[in-house]
């Protein structure tokens, strides 16, 4: 809502999210709502209800479209041909919609987490068990720390806020340094890990292993933050990443699903591989904010959706397709050809002729199980499959337009295997460590690929992560982690990517045995980007700078 007047930048993060009459109306005034009333936090169920929306609604605006715009479009694993071009072409500005949406969403997570902490500490009475009170406080601190992880990796120095209410009349707050933010969120997550239960108190709730998984992720990245531009990551933090990843792998009870594609087959929520997911719920066509809207923008056509399906121009980039084993370039470099044993390709992107029996497709004269169509003559798209679950009839009636109930992964066990391998590799050019290779192969071979027996290198692990987590909003943060200690390599990966149009032709349709990918001959511009020191991090949204000019001041340690 463009006419909203915000006296302070912080206003967007101060107010409860229970009563959204309009998506942004909570910015205009504090709602009179019982979540801040002294009578609310009196029982275990009320306290759990008070933290429940930290798993969904506060993340909604980020999850909606910004997640893949930042996590995949900027990273080059996927692209949109006609929309979201600022992010695809790496010229995101202070006015790019997803930039502002993400910033505000992450600070809403921070603000709502702070509000939950304030309310529990102030209002929770003797009817609340010590166990639930401790867990609920840990949940809020977990969410706040994770939001700051996204903030610092996208914008660099940002202000750390632990008490929003104290800021109502304070316009002097400054940004904090990157190193001090990482120190703060790591300390937070260590304390959270000690306070969360080993098993979820209810399905989908955080556990000790959720926090330890985040610590593995945090320490792996923080090792690069502490490199001071030297290129050598901090060994103590690498060892910590290894320790926490291994502890989760060995002791959490989590396990990889046997088939990669099952990760995204409805109903997959809170499966054995999920360490933490956003908990979306379909509760009818009239709800907003607690459901998953992302599939509406990813599904390639209304033919497989519920009156939405606006992702017809979205799909894998040329560079991403080249990452799959078995698909190779011709001498000219303008054509790729082949097929892959890697089952992750079909589960992530749709190629002409591939079949998805779990999704119903509307065709002339009726319906059929989805066969991804072969269309066009010089341009088509390898459309996105992940998180696309089909029509309401495919999910037991649990979806409607822009309202889906499938969860969003925020951390899977597969990441722990790859974190361990990378932490062992550390600052070396390669490693033959038996456990690292064993863990790497858990992920690699699950995808249907043969055992990897050569020494692991940074490029091998990066490639595996790009493929494993493509369209899970992960690739950008892998590049930011690399950028902390090796800017040149991060820029080299980004600037070597081809993000332009191409045509994919199956040898036989349907049921092809191989595909040929041909660059669109007339699309010679906007195929590459120029990542550099000036555009790598996101600019602070223009609307926020206009309200809080102190965000331009030099950062200070927190």
SS3 per residue for 121-188: HHHCCCCCCHHHHHHHHHHHHHHHHHHHHHHHHHHCCECCCCCHHHHCCCCCCCCECHHHHHHHHHHH
Q: What is the CA radius of gyration of the chain?
A: 23
Q: Which among 514, 187, 189 is positioned nearest to 340, based on CA atoms?
A: 514
The tens-digit pLDDT sequence of the chain (558 residues) is 333 223 333 333 433 333 333 332 222 223 333 344 567 889 999 999 999 999 999 999 999 999 999 999 999 999 999 999 999 999 999 999 999 999 999 999 999 999 999 999 999 989 999 999 999 999 999 999 999 999 999 999 999 999 887 665 556 778 999 999 999 999 999 999 999 999 999 999 999 999 999 999 999 999 999 887 778 999 999 999 999 999 999 999 999 999 999 999 999 999 999 999 999 999 899 889 999 999 999 999 999 999 999 999 999 999 999 999 999 999 888 999 999 999 999 999 999 999 999 999 999 999 999 999 999 999 999 999 999 999 999 999 999 999 999 999 999 999 999 999 999 999 999 999 999 999 999 999 999 999 999 899 999 999 999 999 999 999 999 999 999 999 999 999 999 999 999 999 999 999 999 999 999 999 999 999 999 999 999 999 999 988 888 899 999 999
Query: Tens of pLDDT along 394-448?
Result: 999 999 999 999 999 999 999 999 999 999 999 999 999 999 999 999 999 999 9
Query: Tens of pLDDT along 307-339?
Result: 999 999 999 999 999 999 999 999 888 999 999
Q: Report whether 421 contacts 332 (CB < 8 A).
A: no
SS3 22: coil
Q: State the Cα–Cα distance between residues 87 and 535, nearest whole angstrom.
A: 11
Q: State the Cα–Cα distance between residues 373 and 304, nearest whole angstrom.
A: 12
Q: Report whether 166 contacts 547 (CB < 8 A).
A: no
**Which pair of tokens denotes residue 329?**
């370039």
pLDDT of res. 63: 98
SS3 542: helix
Question: For all residues of the chain together, what is the average pLDDT?
Answer: 92
pLDDT of res. 167: 66
User: How many CA within 13 A on the CB side of residue 317?
Assistant: 28
**Which pair of tokens denotes residue 232?**
């050598």
Return the residue matching tokens 């499966």. 271
**Which pair of tokens denotes residue 519?**
């660059």
Q: State the Cα–Cα distance between residues 289 and 112, nearest whole angstrom.
A: 15
The runs of H, that is alpha helices, within 511-554 are 542-547
pLDDT of res. 4: 29
Q: State the Cα–Cα distance between residues 153 and 311, nearest whole angstrom.
A: 27
Q: State the Cα–Cα distance between residues 159 and 177, nearest whole angstrom.
A: 9
CA distances from 435 to 139, 182, 442 (A): 32, 28, 11
17: left (phi over 0), alpha (psi -120 to 50) or beta: alpha
Q: Report whether 192 contacts 141 (CB < 8 A).
A: yes
Residue 147's contacts (CB-CB under 8 Å, 6 or more residues apart) are 106, 107, 109, 110, 113
Which of 146-149's residues contact partners 24+ apart within 8 Å by CB, and which partners?
146/109, 146/185, 146/214, 146/410, 147/106, 147/107, 147/109, 147/110, 147/113, 148/106, 148/110, 148/181, 148/184, 148/185, 149/185, 149/214, 149/217, 149/218
Residue 97's contacts (CB-CB under 8 Å, 6 or more residues apart) are none
pLDDT of res. 37: 57
Segment holding 99, helix H or strand E: helix 97-123
Query: Tens of pLDDT along 211-229?
Result: 999 999 999 999 999 887 7
Q: State the Cα–Cα distance between residues 189 and 184, nearest whole angstrom.
A: 9
pLDDT of res. 166: 66
pLDDT of res. 454: 85
Q: State the Cα–Cα distance between residues 8 and 345, nearest whole angstrom.
A: 46
CA distances from 232 to 181, 235, 237, 343, 476 (A): 20, 8, 12, 35, 21
Q: State the Cα–Cα distance between residues 262 and 75, nearest whole angstrom.
A: 25
**Which pair of tokens denotes residue 18?**
């229970």
Q: How many residues appear in the chain?
A: 558
Q: State the Cα–Cα distance between residues 538 and 478, nearest whole angstrom.
A: 15
What domains are there in the chain, each with its CATH number?
1-179+535-558 (1.25.40.390)
């Amino acid at each position: 809502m463009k006419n909203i007047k915000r006296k302070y930048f912080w206003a967007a993060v101060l107010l409860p999210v229970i009563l959204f009459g309009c998506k942004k109306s909570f910015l205009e005034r504090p709602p009179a709502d019982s979540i801040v009333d002294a009578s609310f936090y009196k029982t275990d169920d009320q306290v759990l209800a008070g933290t429940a929306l930290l798993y969904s609604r506060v993340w909604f605006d980020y999850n909606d479209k910004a997640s893949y715009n930042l996590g995949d479009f900027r990273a080059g694993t996927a692209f949109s041909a006609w929309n979201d071009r600022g992010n695809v072409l790496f010229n995101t500005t202070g006015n790019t919609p997803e930039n502002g949406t993400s910033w505000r969403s992450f600070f809403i997570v921070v603000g709502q987490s702070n509000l939950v902490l304030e309310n529990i500490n102030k209002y929770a009475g003797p009817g609340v068990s010590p166990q639930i009170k401790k867990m609920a406080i840990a949940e809020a601190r977990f969410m706040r720390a994770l939001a700051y992880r996204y903030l610092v990796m996208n914008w660099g120095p940002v202000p750390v806020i632990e008490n929003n209410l104290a800021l109502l009349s304070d316009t002097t707050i400054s940004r904090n340094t990157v190193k001090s933010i990482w120190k703060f969120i790591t300390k937070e997550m260590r304390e959270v890990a000690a306070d969360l239960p080993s098993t979820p108190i209810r399905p989908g709730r955080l556990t000790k292993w959720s926090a330890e998984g985040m610590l593995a992720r945090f320490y792996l990245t923080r090792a690069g933050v502490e490199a001071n531009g030297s290129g050598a990551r901090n060994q103590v933090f690498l060892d910590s990443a290894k320790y926490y990843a291994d502890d989760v792998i060995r002791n959490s009870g989590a396990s990889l699903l046997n088939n990669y594609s099952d990760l995204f087959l409805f109903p997959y929520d809170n499966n054995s591989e999920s360490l933490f997911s956003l908990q979306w719920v379909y509760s009818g066509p009239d709800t907003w904010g607690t459901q998953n809207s992302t599939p509406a923008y990813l599904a390639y056509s209304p033919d497989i959706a519920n009156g939405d399906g606006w992702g017809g121009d979205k799909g894998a980039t040329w560079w991403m397709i080249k990452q799959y084993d078995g698909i190779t370039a011709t001498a000219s470099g303008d054509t790729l050809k082949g097929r892959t044993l890697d089952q992750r390709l079909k589960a992530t992107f749709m190629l002409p002729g591939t079949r998805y029996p779990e999704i119903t497709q509307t065709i002339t004269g009726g319906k059929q199980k989805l066969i991804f169509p072969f269309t066009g003559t010089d341009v088509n798209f390898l459309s996105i499959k992940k998180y696309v679950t089909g029509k309401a009839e495919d999910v037991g009636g649990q979806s409607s337009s822009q309202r889906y109930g499938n969860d969003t992964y925020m951390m899977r066990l597969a990441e722990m295997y790859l974190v361990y391998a990378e932490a062992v590799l550390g600052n070396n050019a390669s490693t033959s460590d038996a456990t690292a290779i064993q863990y790497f192969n858990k992920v690699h071979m699950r995808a249907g690929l043969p055992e990897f027996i050569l020494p692991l290198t940074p490029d091998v692990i990066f490639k595996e992560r790009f493929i494993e987590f493509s369209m899970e909003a992960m690739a950008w943060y892998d590049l930011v982690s690399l950028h902390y200690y090796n800017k040149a390599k991060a820029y080299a990966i980004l600037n070597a990517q081809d993000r332009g149009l191409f045509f994919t032709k199956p040898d036989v349709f349907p049921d092809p045995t191989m595909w040929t990918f041909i660059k669109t001959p007339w699309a010679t511009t906007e195929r590459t980007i120029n990542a550099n020191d000036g555009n790598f991090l996101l600019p602070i949204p223009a609307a926020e700078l206009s309200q809080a000019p102190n965000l331009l001041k030099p950062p200070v340690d927190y």
